[in-house]
Chain A
Amino acid sequence: MTGTEIYKRTPAYEREASAIRLHAPEWKLLLAYDGQRSLAEVALSAEVSFADALPLTEKFLGQGWIEEQPITLDQYLKRTGAPSVSAIGSAIPPAVVLHSPRPKTTVLPPLPDSFATEKVAASPLESPIVTHAKPPGGLLRLDALVHYLISLADNHALGQILVYRVFLRVPPELLQEEDIASVHLVDDTSVIRGEKLQQAIANAVRKLTQRVLPSSVFAPA
C-alpha cells in the first residue's frame, strides 16, 4: 500500500456491523473510510499514524469490511501531486508514498524470533516465586504475550486455546479495572499497565506452563 489508495466500507460490513467488536481507535479508522479520501488522508483524520494504519487496513481488507475504490489516472496524479496526463503524455510517474507526520509515541521493539524461556524449579515456601522478568515500570504487550504462549503449544490453534486458559485464571475485576473487554488473538496492539494485572497474568502462565514470562513480552513505559 502506498497511501494513495481509496477504500470504502462494504455491504458485508453493513451486515456484520452489529456483531463486530473492535477497540475504539480501530473503530475510528474503520469508520473514516469513505470512498473519497486516500488511506493517508483517512489515517490523518482518524489520528492514526500511517505505520499503524497499514496493518489495520490489511486486517479490515482481510475481513471483507472494506474494499479499494478504483480511481482514474487523473485522480491518481492529482493525489500524488504529479502534473496532469495531458502535460506528461502517457508516462506514469513513480508512485509517491504519502506519510503522515509521525506523532511522538513509544516505539515498541519488534518481536524476537524465539523466546528465551526459563523453567521455574520447585521453590521452598519461604522464597518468593519469580513469575516474570520485567523491566521496571514496563508495559505488558498483549500481542507479544499471545505470540509467546502460542509458541509454547504444539500448533497455532492449540496455542490460542492456551491463551484462553491463561485468561480464565485472571480475576475478572483486574481486567475490568484496566478496561480490557477482550483480547484479540491476532495483532492485539493493547498494552497492560497495571502491576496487579500483569502479576495475575504471569501467575496464570506459570501455573499452566511452569514458565516465567520472558522480558521480551514487556515494553518500556
Chain B
Amino acid sequence: MPLHERDIHYFLEVTLAYLNKITGHEIVLRDPTIEFQSLVFSTYTGLIHLSGDVQGFVYLTASQPFLRQLYTARHSHGRFAEENCLDVMNDITNEIAHNVRRRFGPALHASEPHIFSTVPDDPIEMPPAVFVQPFSWRNELGYFVLGLTSSESV
C-alpha cells in the first residue's frame, strides 16, 4: 500500500514533536534536501529499520553538544557523561518507533532502535534517495534522515 505524503511526513512530525517538547518549541528547521549519493552522520545516531509495506529506515543524528543540551534540559541535576548522549538518543528513537507502531500497526514494522557513534557497525544500504531535514537548537545541529527503498510502496 503506497504511503501518502502525510504518512511519510508523520515520521518527521513525531520526531520534531518530541524534540520540541524538551526544548520548549525552540527547534528551528533548516532547508531540507534530497540526497542521492551519501548519508549524513553526526557524532551520535539513533536508527530504526522499517519493513513490511514499506522498506527503508529512519534515523536521527546529532552532535554531542546538541545531545548534552537536551540532556541538561531534561535533568536539572546530575553530571553529564558520554553515555548520557546514547541514553538521550535511545529515548528519542524509542519514541519514534513507539509512535510509528501505534500509527501503522502490523502493516509497518519498526525495528528496535540501533544507537551508534560516528558510523554504523553494519553498513546501511543507500536507497535511491533520502530525505534530509536539518534542524538546530541553540546553534547546535541535528539531522532527521528518512530513506525508503521501495519506490512502488511510495
| B5 x A162 contact (CB < 8 A) | yes
Residue B40 at the chain A interface, CB threshold 8 Å: yes
| Shortest distance from the beta carbon of B58 to any chain A beta carbon, whole Å | 13
Main secondary structure of the interface of A (DSSP, over half): helix
Q: Which residues 159-214 of A have a CB within 8 angstroms of B?
A: 159-165, 167-170, 172, 175-176, 180-187
Determine the distance from Cα of A187 to Cα of B33 in the docked complex, in whole angstroms.
11
Interface string of B6-35 (1 = CB under 8 A from A): 101100100000000000000000111111
Tell me whether B131 and A16 are in contact (CB under 8 A).
no
User: Of B33, B146, B151, which is in contact with the most chain A CB atoms at under 10 Å from its CB?
Assistant: B33
Nearest A residue to B6 via CB reads: A158
Contact between B8 and A165 (Cβ–Cβ < 8 Å)?
yes
Shortest CB–CB separation between residue A159 and chain B, in angstroms?
A: 8
Residue A63 is within 8 A (CB to CB) of chain B in the complex:
yes
Q: How distant is the Cα of A176 from the Cα of B9 in the complex, in angstroms? A: 27
A172 touches B151 (CB 8 A): no
Please give, as numbers and ranges, the residues of chain A lying within 8 Å of B111 by CB-CB distance. Answer: none
Contact with A along B75-87 (1 / 0, CB 8 A): 0000000000000
Which residues of B are found within 8 Å of A19, using beta-carbon distances? 40, 42, 141, 143
- The docked-state distance in angstroms from the alpha carbon of A180 to that of B143 is 21
Q: Which residue of A lies closest to B63 (CB)?
A: A15
Do residues B6 and A168 form an inter-chain contact, with CB atoms below 8 A? no
Query: Is the CB–CB distance between B154 and A165 below 8 Å?
Result: yes
Cβ–Cβ < 8 Å partners of B154 in chain A? 165, 168
A51 within 8 A of B: no
B9 and A158 contacting across the interface, CB-CB below 8 Å: yes
Interface status of B108 (Cβ within 8 A of chain A) = no
Q: Does B148 contact A (CB under 8 A)?
A: yes
**Contact between B139 and A64, CB atoms less than 8 A apart:** yes
Tell me if A12 counts as interface (CB < 8 A to partner B): yes
Distance to closest chain B CB from A63 (angstroms): 6
- Say whether A153 faces chain B, with CB atoms less than 8 Å apart: yes
List which B115-154 residues lie within 8 A (CB) of chain A.
127-129, 131, 136, 139, 141, 143, 146, 148, 151, 154
Q: How far is the CB of A109 from chain B (nearest CB, A)?
A: 23
Is A161 within 8 A of B5, CB to CB? yes
| Complex interface residues of chain B between 24 and 57 (CB less than 8 A to chain A) | 30-38, 40, 42
User: What is A's interface to B at a CB cutoff of 8 Å?
Assistant: 12, 15-16, 19, 21, 59, 63-64, 153, 157-165, 167-170, 172, 175-176, 180-187
Given A19-B143, A158-B9, A182-B37, 19 more pairs with CB closer than 8 A: A19-B141, A153-B5, A158-B6, A159-B5, A160-B131, A161-B8, A162-B5, A164-B131, A164-B146, A165-B5, A165-B8, A167-B129, A168-B129, A168-B151, A170-B128, A172-B128, A180-B36, A185-B34, A187-B31
Show the binding face of B for A, using Cβ within 8 Å: 5-6, 8-9, 12, 30-38, 40, 42, 63, 127-129, 131, 136, 139, 141, 143, 146, 148, 151, 154
Which A-B residue pairs are the 8 nearest by beta carbons?
Answer: A186-B31, A161-B5, A158-B5, A183-B34, A164-B131, A168-B151, A181-B37, A185-B32
